[in-house]
């Protein structure tokens, strides 16, 4: 079986740090989007149409908020996977270090 190691120790450590940061930050962003925070209004992809054609305001905007929130949660999940891969790489690197000496 070919070696599963494809990045060095420093790159794997960076991967872990960015993954942890990504998980925490994207999860919190997801929570804030789901709570329909007003400060994040500019990040929601709404158009003029959505506001004008809204039959039951502000449900359109709210559904967009929810959508972005779910996007954030999915991205957080992907970062969990990236973090797991990085953790494996760190462990493999450590094992290789023991074998050389």
Partner 1 sequence: MCSLLRGEEMCLAQLFLQSGSAYDCINELGELGLVEFRDLNPGVNAFQRKHVNEIKKCEEMERILGKDILIFNIHMCYHHNYYCSYVHYHWVYVCVCSQEQLQRLEVELGEVTRNKEKLQRNLLELTEYTHMLRTTRNFVQRTSEVSYEEFPFLEKDTLMDYSSMQRLGAKLGFISGLIQRTKIEAFERMLWRVCKGYTILSYAEVEEYLEDPDTGEPTKSVVFLISYWGDQIGQKVKKICDCYHCHLYPYPSSNEERTDVVEGLRTRIQDLHTVLHRTDDYLKQVLMKASESVYTWVIQVKKMKAIYFILNLCSFDVTNKCLIAEVWCPVNDIPTLRRALEEGSRKSGATVPSFVNRIPTNDTPPTLIRTNKFTSGFQNIVDAYGVGNYREVNPAPFTIITFPFLFAVMFGDLGHGVIMALFALWMVLYENNRKLKNTRNEIWNTFFEGRYIILMMGLFSIYTGLIYNDCFSKSLNIFGSGWSVKAMFEAKVWKDADIRGNRVLTLDPNVTGVFRGPYPLGIDPIWNLASNRLTFLNSYKMKMSVILGVIHMSFGVILSTYNYLHFRKKHSLYLVFLPELLFLLCLFGYLVFMIFYKWLVFTAKDSRLAPSILIHFINMFLMQGDGVQPLYPGQTGLQVFLVVIAVLSVPVLLLGKPVYLYWLHNGSHRLGMYRGYERVRRNSEEELYLMRAHDMEEGSSHSDLSTSGERQTEEFDFADEFLHQAIHTIEYCLGCVSNTASYLRLWALSLAHAQLSEVLWTMVMRVGLRMDTSLGVFFLVPVFGLFAVLTVSILLVMEGLSAFLHALRLHWVEFQNKFYSGTGVKFCPFSFSLLPSSFEHDGLL
CB of 72 to partner 1, least distance (A): 7
Phi then psi dihedrals of residue 40, to 5 deg:
-90, 15
Q: Which residue's CB is nearer to partner 1, number 14 or number 88? A: 14
List 5, 7, 16, 44, residue binding partner 1 (CB under 8 A)? 44
Which of 9, 71, 80, 90 binds partner 1 (CB under 8 A)? It is 71
Q: Which of residues 4-33 bind partner 1 (CB under 8 A)?
A: 18, 21-22, 25-26, 29
Axis crossing angle, helix 9-34 with helix 59-100, rounded to the nearest 10? 160
- If binding is defined by CB under 8 A, does position 40 make contact with partner 1? yes
Site residues for partner 1 per CB under 8 A: 18, 21-22, 25-26, 29, 37-45, 64, 67-68, 71-72, 74-75, 78-79, 82, 101
């Amino acid at each position: 079986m070919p070696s599963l190691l494809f990045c060095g120790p420093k790159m794997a450590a960076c991967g872990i740090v960015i993954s942890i940061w990504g998980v925490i930050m994207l999860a919190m962003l997801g929570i804030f989007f789901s709570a329909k925070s007003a400060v994040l209004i500019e990040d929601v992809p709404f158009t003029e149409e959505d506001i004008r054609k809204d039959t039951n305001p502000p449900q359109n905007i709210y559904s967009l908020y929810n959508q972005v929130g779910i996007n954030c949660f999915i991205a957080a999940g992907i970062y969990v996977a990236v973090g797991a891969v990085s953790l494996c790489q760190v462990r493999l690197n450590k094992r290789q270090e023991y074998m050389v000496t």
